[in-house]
């Protein structure tokens, strides 16, 4: 698919994880790329270093001259996170520019490639990154649009080899938010989960499940569906498309894992399906949920004629995704793990895995709720999953795109958390609080700006360990 006549691409919300991947793709293809975002970040710094023009003022003056003077040859990509009163967005709307949502453009980019789309309310970023890495490490020409920064490639975009004689395989994270995944044209689909989420968009659980059913019906007639067993149950066998379907999961009778061993820095397991057994695979991104994610990656690799030895190498060399069960400190008597988990089921999966890795240590969790609506809709689930910890520290809700809702706050989760050590702490007091608490195993969870605290916490813990060793 060519973008004939387009010379400049301007992205509104360029610092977003999905938007920045598109920005990098267009820059790689030779377009002049620019964009606006509300605040600077490490990601916008990287885009600037890569030659893109990034501005942080929502003004007409900040729009590059080439974009402002040539509406016909400029493509404007925007995200629904942009406020309705945005000066730049409304200028482009009022002056005849071609505006497309990120999801539409991603659909256009991938429509002419063999596409593997990974969907799910959780697990999709790690699974899509792992699929792309296993395929690429085995020599397959891969391009991937990802929802996180992979540790192997330090990017959310993996580019294919233009010199390869084989057709490029595109791996794309299929986002259910705002029904974005319905713009894609997948040949193969992975559904990692279908739990209720984004109820501010969908309204209720039945509607989001219907969204997933619509998505999987988009699979090419000769394509394949890999679906986690709980997601298959939730969507209903009668609603699955008439394509080759493979169910996977830790409790699946199809594709599953056996002999799982939780170690302090890895999980070891055997892959099993009806035709294959691969023993002693070692995954250095720990977690039962990551073993399950690996099952989908391995099944796809086998179907693309990748050898067992190449799969073993790809799984063991996968370094994970930033902020997905990322171990920052594991030395002395202390451990610090950071994870993006912001849904009750994600928190449950993360903390269950940490418990298996460090069964004799006290577990402290710092959780920053994300969105007022999500906190309201899943309050009991959050309290239940956080109760897996010995000590819980709650930060205030990160509002993101939302305005406050009366009566909805982080404190409302405290009453039903079943542990005696639970409290609400301000971000400014957090390090002083940790100094007194001296946690053995510390886990930070959340999708807001809690990530800005992670380097400070890791530095504090390392300094403490160095002082002890002296």
> How confident is the prediction along the chain (470 residues), in pLDDT tens digits per residue?
468 899 999 999 999 999 999 999 999 999 999 999 998 988 999 999 999 999 999 999 999 999 999 999 999 999 887 888 999 999 999 999 999 999 899 999 888 899 999 999 999 999 999 999 999 999 999 999 999 999 999 999 998 766 677 889 999 999 887 788 999 999 999 999 998 887 777 788 899 999 999 999 999 999 999 999 999 999 998 999 999 999 999 999 899 999 999 998 899 999 999 999 999 999 999 999 999 999 999 999 999 999 999 999 999 999 999 989 999 999 878 999 999 999 999 999 999 999 999 999 999 999 999 999 999 999 999 999 999 999 999 999 999 878 999 999 999 999 999 998 999 999 999 999 999 999 999 999 999 999 999 999 999 999 887 766 54
Residue of 52, 53, 54, 63 lying closest to 86 (CA atoms): 63
Q: What are the Cα distances from residue 353, in Å, to 128, 265, 291, 348, 443?
A: 21, 11, 11, 9, 11
- Mind listing the domains of the chain with CATH numbers? 8-100 (3.40.50.720), 113-317 (3.40.1190.10), 326-469 (3.90.190.20)
Residue 297 to residue 427: CA distance in whole angstroms: 38
Alpha helices in 308-394 (DSSP H): 308-317, 344-357, 372-377, 379-386
142: phi then psi, degrees, rounded to nearest 5: -125, 140
Whether residue 291 contacts residue 267, with contact meaning beta carbons closer than 8 Å, is answered with: yes
Q: How far apart are CA 216 and CA 213, in angstroms?
A: 5
pLDDT value at residue 175: 87
CA distance 191 to 174: 9
pLDDT of residue 468: 61
**Single pTM value for the model:** 0.89
Q: How far apart are CA 31 and CA 17, in angstroms?
A: 19
Task: Output the six-digit token pair for 295.
Answer: 């099952």
């Amino acid at each position: 698919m060519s973008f004939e006549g387009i010379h400049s691409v301007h992205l509104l919300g360029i610092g977003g994880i999905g938007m920045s991947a598109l920005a990098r793709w267009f820059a790689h293809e030779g377009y002049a790329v620019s964009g606006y975002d509300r605040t600077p970040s490490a990601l916008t710094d990287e885009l600037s270093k890569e030659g893109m023009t990034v501005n942080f003022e929502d003004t007409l003056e900040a729009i590059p001259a080439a974009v402002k003077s040539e509406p016909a040859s400029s493509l404007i990509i925007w995200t629904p996170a942009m406020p309705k009163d945005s000066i730049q967005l409304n200028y482009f709307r009022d002056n005849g520019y071609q505006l497309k949502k990120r999801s539409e453009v991603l659909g256009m980019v991938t429509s002419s490639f063999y596409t593997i789309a990974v969907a799910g309310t959780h697990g999709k970023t790690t699974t899509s990154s792992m699929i792309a890495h296993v395929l690429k490490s085995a020599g397959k020409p891969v391009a991937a649009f990802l929802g996180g920064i992979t540790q192997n490639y330090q990017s959310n975009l993996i580019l294919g080899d233009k010199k390869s004689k084989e057709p490029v395989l595109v791996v794309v994270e299929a986002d259910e938010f705002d029904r974005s995944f319905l713009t894609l044209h997948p040949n193969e689909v992975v559904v990692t989960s279908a739990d209720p989420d984004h109820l501010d968009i969908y309204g209720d659980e039945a509607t989001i499940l219907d969204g997933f059913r619509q998505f999987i019906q988009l699979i090419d007639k000769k394509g394949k569906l890999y679906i986690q067993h709980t997601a298959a149950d939730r969507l209903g066998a009668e609603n699955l498309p008439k394509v080759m379907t493979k169910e996977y999961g830790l409790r699946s009778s199809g594709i599953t894992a056996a002999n799982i061993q939780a170690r302090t820095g890895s999980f070891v397991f055997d892959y099993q399906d009806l035709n294959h057994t691969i023993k002693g695979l070692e995954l250095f991104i720990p977690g039962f949920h990551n073993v399950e994610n690996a099952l989908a990656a391995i099944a796809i690799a086998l179907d693309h004629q990748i050898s067992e030895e190449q799969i073993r190498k790809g799984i063991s060399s996968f370094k994970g995704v930033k902020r997905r069960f990322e171990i920052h400190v594991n030395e002395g008597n202390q451990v610090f793990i950071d994870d993006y988990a912001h849904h009750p089921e994600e928190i449950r999966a993360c903390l269950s895995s940490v418990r298996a890795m460090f069964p004799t240590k006290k577990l402290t969790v710092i959780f920053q709720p994300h969105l007022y609506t999500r906190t309201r809709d899943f309050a009991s689930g959050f309290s239940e999953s956080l109760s897996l910890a010995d000590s819980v520290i709650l930060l205030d809700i990160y509002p993101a795109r939302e305005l406050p809702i009366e009566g909805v706050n982080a404190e409302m989760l405290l009453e039903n958390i079943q542990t005696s050590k639970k409290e609400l702490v301000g971000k400014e007091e957090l390090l002083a609080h940790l100094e007194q608490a001296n946690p053995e195993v510390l886990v930070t969870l959340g999708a807001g700006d809690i990530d800005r605290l992670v380097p400070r916490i890791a530095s504090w813990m390392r300094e403490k360990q160095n002082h002890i060793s002296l």
